[in-house]
């Protein structure tokens, strides 16, 4: 089966560029609060027969006030020692430029140049974008950091880093051939288990099928960097890693192609956005998103086999 192309929004270097651009822009202009501008998702009465198509009045586990607390720390430890590649966790830097950083030391005892990347990163059980790609020449050692983007942590309401899970993807720097993918690695901080991570699952649940839940929360068409973002929440309650993509999407009755591909590892949750380009909205004279109709394609991340495809689902915003 043909491999699904990874969205540009899922590539680590893309987010480095975006953070730089947004950082420069933030220094020269202010903006209204997104909370006051965004339109909340509401159930579409015409889709009453769809599963769980009703907005929750409030989250079962809304964000909790955590206040000030001790900062998270980690013990120095070996994260991976495989095929001549050893990765040692040195410390946790909570004041990194783009977000907290897991400081690591990578020793390449092999005879080939390697690149080490982190995949499927989650913090406190919630998927988080990371920035990490480290080249290490044969026989050399490198110090680097796995950056956990502050924007993702803020969106997920993560105030304390209790634990981080991920896998390492190691490939030949020269040929790009995969050398190996590590087993799942779990880093527990000094705050691990101190409190349950709150999640905001409020909104209109459009999908509750085969252990996967998809909830539409709100639309931001005023402060979005690209044009418009529809915020969603995904739960993967299965024992396999899944990817959720969009198909046959229309806004206010006009077909518009979104940018959206959400990877959620087994047992994890994710906050993500379905993004629409400003140029596409202008071509269809869409100045305000009132309704969206969408189908979701859910497949196994590892082998690309389809798990299920939904019928067209509708949601309104007000």
Q: What is the DSSP string of the chain?
A: -PPPPPPGGG-HHHHHHHHHHHHHHHTT-----HHHHPEEEEE-GGGTTSTT-SB-SS-TT------S-PPP----EEEEEETTEEEEEEEEETT-SSS-EEEEEEEE-SSS-EEEEEEEEEETTEE--EE-EEEE-TT-EEEEEEEE-HHHHHHTT--S--EEEEEEEEEETTT--EEEEPPPEEEE-TTTTSSPPP----SEEEEEETTEEEEEEEEE-SS-SSEEEEEEEEEE-SSS-EEEEEEEEEETTEE---B-EEEE-TT-EEEEEEEEEHHHHHHTT-SS--EEEEEEEEEETTT--EEEEPPPEEEEE-
- Which residues, other chains included, contact 196 with Cβ-Cβ below 8 Å and sequence gap of 6+? 61
- Which residues, other chains included, contact 175 with Cβ-Cβ below 8 Å and sequence gap of 6+? none
Domain assignment present for residue 67? The answer is no
Q: Are residues 91 and 47 in the same domain?
A: no
pLDDT for the residue 29: 42
pLDDT for the residue 37: 61
Q: Are residues 232 and 278 in the same domain?
A: yes
pLDDT for the residue 42: 87
Domain assignment present for residue 257? The answer is yes
pLDDT in tens, the chain (318 residues): 444 444 444 444 555 555 554 444 444 444 443 444 688 888 765 443 444 433 333 334 433 344 435 799 999 999 999 999 999 999 999 999 999 999 999 999 999 999 999 999 999 999 999 999 999 999 999 999 999 999 999 999 999 999 999 999 999 999 999 999 999 999 999 999 999 999 999 999 999 999 999 999 999 988 889 999 999 999 999 999 999 999 999 999 999 999 999 999 999 999 999 999 999 999 999 999 999 999 999 999 999 999 999 999 999 999
Cα 148 to its chain centre, rounded Å, is 11
pLDDT for the residue 54: 38
Q: Are residues 81 and 184 in the same domain?
A: yes
Domain assignment present for residue 220? The answer is yes
Q: Are residues 264 and 295 in the same domain?
A: yes
Q: Are 132 and 165 in contact (CB under 8 A)?
A: no
Of the three residues 159, 188, 217, the one that is the final residue of a domain is 188
Q: Are residues 181 and 219 in the same domain?
A: no
Q: Are residues 149 and 218 in the same domain?
A: no
- Rounded to two decimals, what is the model's pTM? 0.82
CATH code at 303?
A: 2.60.40
Q: Are residues 228 and 141 in the same domain?
A: no
Domain assignment present for residue 127? The answer is yes
Of the three residues 143, 159, 188, the one that is the final residue of a domain is 188
Domain assignment present for residue 179? The answer is yes
pLDDT for the residue 313: 98
Q: Are residues 239 and 304 in the same domain?
A: yes
Q: What is the total count of domains within the chain?
A: 2
For 178-196, b/e burial (b = at least 16 CB within 10 A) is ebeebeebebebebbeeee
Distance between CA atoms of residues 98 and 281, nearest Å: 30
Please give the residue range of the domain that contains residue 84.
Answer: 77-188
Domain assignment present for residue 16? The answer is no
Of the three residues 188, 217, 237, the one that is the final residue of a domain is 188
Q: Are residues 303 and 209 in the same domain?
A: yes
Domain assignment present for residue 32? The answer is no
Domain assignment present for residue 256? The answer is yes
CATH code at 160?
A: 2.60.40.2550
Q: Are residues 110 and 215 in the same domain?
A: no
Distance between CA atoms of residues 266 and 1, nearest Å: 22
Q: Are residues 41 and 134 in the same domain?
A: no
Q: Are residues 90 and 183 in the same domain?
A: yes
């Amino acid at each position: 089966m043909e491999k699904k192309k990874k969205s540009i929004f899922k590539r680590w270097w893309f987010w480095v560029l975006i953070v730089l651009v947004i950082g420069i822009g933030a220094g020269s202009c202010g903006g209204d609060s997104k909370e006051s501008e965004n339109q909340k998702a509401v159930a579409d009465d015409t889709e009453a027969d769809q599963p769980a198509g009703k907005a929750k009045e409030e989250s079962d586990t809304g964000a909790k006030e955590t206040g000030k607390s001790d900062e998270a720390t980690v013990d120095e430890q070996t994260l991976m020692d495989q095929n001549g590649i050893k990765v040692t966790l040195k410390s946790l830097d909570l004041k990194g430029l783009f977000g907290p950083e897991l400081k690591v030391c990578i020793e390449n005892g092999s005879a080939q140049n390697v690149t080490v990347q982190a995949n499927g990163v989650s913090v406190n059980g919630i998927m988080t974008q990371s920035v990490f790609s480290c080249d290490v020449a044969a026989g050399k050692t490198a110090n680097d950091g796995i950056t956990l983007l502050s924007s993702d942590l803020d969106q997920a309401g993560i105030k304390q880093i209790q634990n981080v899970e991920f896998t390492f993807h190691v490939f030949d720097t020269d040929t790009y051939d995969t050398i190996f993918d590590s087993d799942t690695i779990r880093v527990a901080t000094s705050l691990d288990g101190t409190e349950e991570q709150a999640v905001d699952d409020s909104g209109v649940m459009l999908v509750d099928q085969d252990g996967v839940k998809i909830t539409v929360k709100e639309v931001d068409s005023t402060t979005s960097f690209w044009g418009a973002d529809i915020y969603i929440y995904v739960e993967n309650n299965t024992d396999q890693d899944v990817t959720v993509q969009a198909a046959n999407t229309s806004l206010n009755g006009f077909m518009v192609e979104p940018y959206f591909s959400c990877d959620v590892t087994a047992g994890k949750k994710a906050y993500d956005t379905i993004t629409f380009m400003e140029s596409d909205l202008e071509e269809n004279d869409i100045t305000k998103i009132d309704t969206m109709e969408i189908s979701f394609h859910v497949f196994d991340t590892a082998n690309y086999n389809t798990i299920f495809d939904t019928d067209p689902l509708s949601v309104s915003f007000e």
